[in-house]
Amino acid sequence: MDVSQYNLLDEFRIPGHWWLPSNPGDRVAGSLSVSPEGGVRLELTGLFSSPDFDPARVFSNRQPIRSDLVLGEDADGDVYTLYKVDALHISTTSTLRVSYLLAGRHFPSVEEIGFRSALVQYSHLEAWSCFQFTRPTKSASPDFFSIEIPTNRVPLFRTNATGPIKELSLRAHALSRFTLSTVEIKPSAHFWIDLHAAADLKTFFALSDDLGQLMTMLVGEPSYVKKLRLFDSGDAGVDLFFPSTIRRQDELHSPLMCFPLRDIINVVQALTEQWFGSLTLLGPVYDLLFGTLFGRESFVQSKFLSLTQALESFHRRTAGGTYMPTDDFLPVKDSLIAAVPASVPDSLRRRLSDTIKYANDYSLRKRLKELLSGLDGSTVEMLKISDIAGMAELVVKSRNYLTHFDEESEAGLANDIVGMHYMNERLTALLFILILKRLGMDEATAARGTLKRRFFQ
CB-based contacts of 85, cutoff 8 Å, min separation 6: 42, 66, 67, 68, 69, 70, 96, 97, 98, 99
Do 89 and 22 belong together in one domain?
yes
Do 38 and 101 belong together in one domain?
yes
Q: Is the confidence at residue 344, as pLDDT, over 60?
A: yes
Give domain status of residue 330, yes or no: no
Domain that holds residue 222: 114-264
Give domain status of residue 235, yes or no: yes
Q: Is the confidence at residue 144, as pLDDT, over 60?
A: yes
CA of 151: how far to CAs of 175, 187, 413, in Å?
A: 9, 12, 56
Do 84 and 124 belong together in one domain?
no
Q: Is the confidence at residue 334, as pLDDT, over 60?
A: yes
d(CA 200, CA 381): 47
Do 21 and 154 belong together in one domain?
no
Q: Is the confidence at residue 418, as pLDDT, over 60?
A: yes
Q: Is the confidence at residue 148, as pLDDT, over 90?
A: no
Do 386 and 283 belong together in one domain?
yes
Q: What pLDDT does residue 357 have?
A: 84
Q: What pLDDT does residue 414 have?
A: 60
Range in 42-56, 199-213, 327-341, 414-428 with the lowest mean pLDDT: 42-56
Q: What pLDDT does residue 409 have?
A: 61
**415-427 mean pLDDT:** 89
Which is nearest to 102 in space by CA: 244, 242, 240? Answer: 240
Q: pLDDT tens digit string along 427-444?
A: 999 999 999 999 999 999
Do 102 and 118 belong together in one domain?
no
Using pLDDT thresholds of 50, 70 and 90, give the confidence band for residue 33: very high
Using pLDDT thresholds of 50, 70 and 90, give the confidence band for residue 184: confident
Using pLDDT thresholds of 50, 70 and 90, give the confidence band for residue 185: confident
Do 178 and 286 belong together in one domain?
no
Q: What pLDDT does residue 12 have?
A: 95
Q: pLDDT tens digit string along 370-394?
A: 999 999 999 999 999 999 999 999 9
Number of domains in the chain: 3
On whether the pTM is more than 0.85, the answer is yes
Give domain status of residue 82, yes or no: yes
Q: What pLDDT does residue 270 have?
A: 95
Which is nearest to 238 in space by CA: 68, 98, 106, 122? Answer: 106
Average pLDDT, the chain: 90
Give domain status of residue 98, yes or no: yes
Q: Is the confidence at residue 58, as pLDDT, over 60?
A: no
Give domain status of residue 272, yes or no: no
Biggest alpha carbon–alpha carbon distance for the chain: 99
Q: Is the confidence at residue 175, as pLDDT, over 90?
A: no
The last residue of a domain, from among 111, 129, 148: 111
Q: What pLDDT does residue 333 have?
A: 86
Q: What pLDDT does residue 388 have?
A: 96
The last residue of a domain, from among 71, 92, 111: 111
CA of 377: how far to CAs of 372, 435, 441, 443, in Å?
A: 9, 18, 17, 11
Do 64 and 192 belong together in one domain?
no
Do 147 and 184 belong together in one domain?
yes
Do 140 and 164 belong together in one domain?
yes
Give domain status of residue 163, yes or no: yes
Do 88 and 184 belong together in one domain?
no
In the chain, % helix, strand, coil (3-state, to 5) comes to 40, 25, 35
Range in 58-62, 206-210, 325-329, 353-357 with the lowest mean pLDDT: 58-62
Q: pLDDT tens digit string along 240-257?
A: 999 887 777 788 999 999
Domain with residue 70: its CATH number is: 2.40.10
Residue 15: how many other CB atoms lie within 10 Å: 14
The last residue of a domain, from among 231, 264, 297: 264
List strand residue ranges (DSSP E) for 179-289, in order: 183-199, 225-231, 238-241
Helix residue ranges per DSSP H, 144-221:
201-219
Percent of the chain with pLDDT over 70: 95
DSSP 408: G
Give domain status of residue 332, yes or no: no
Do 130 and 254 belong together in one domain?
yes
Give domain status of residue 70, yes or no: yes
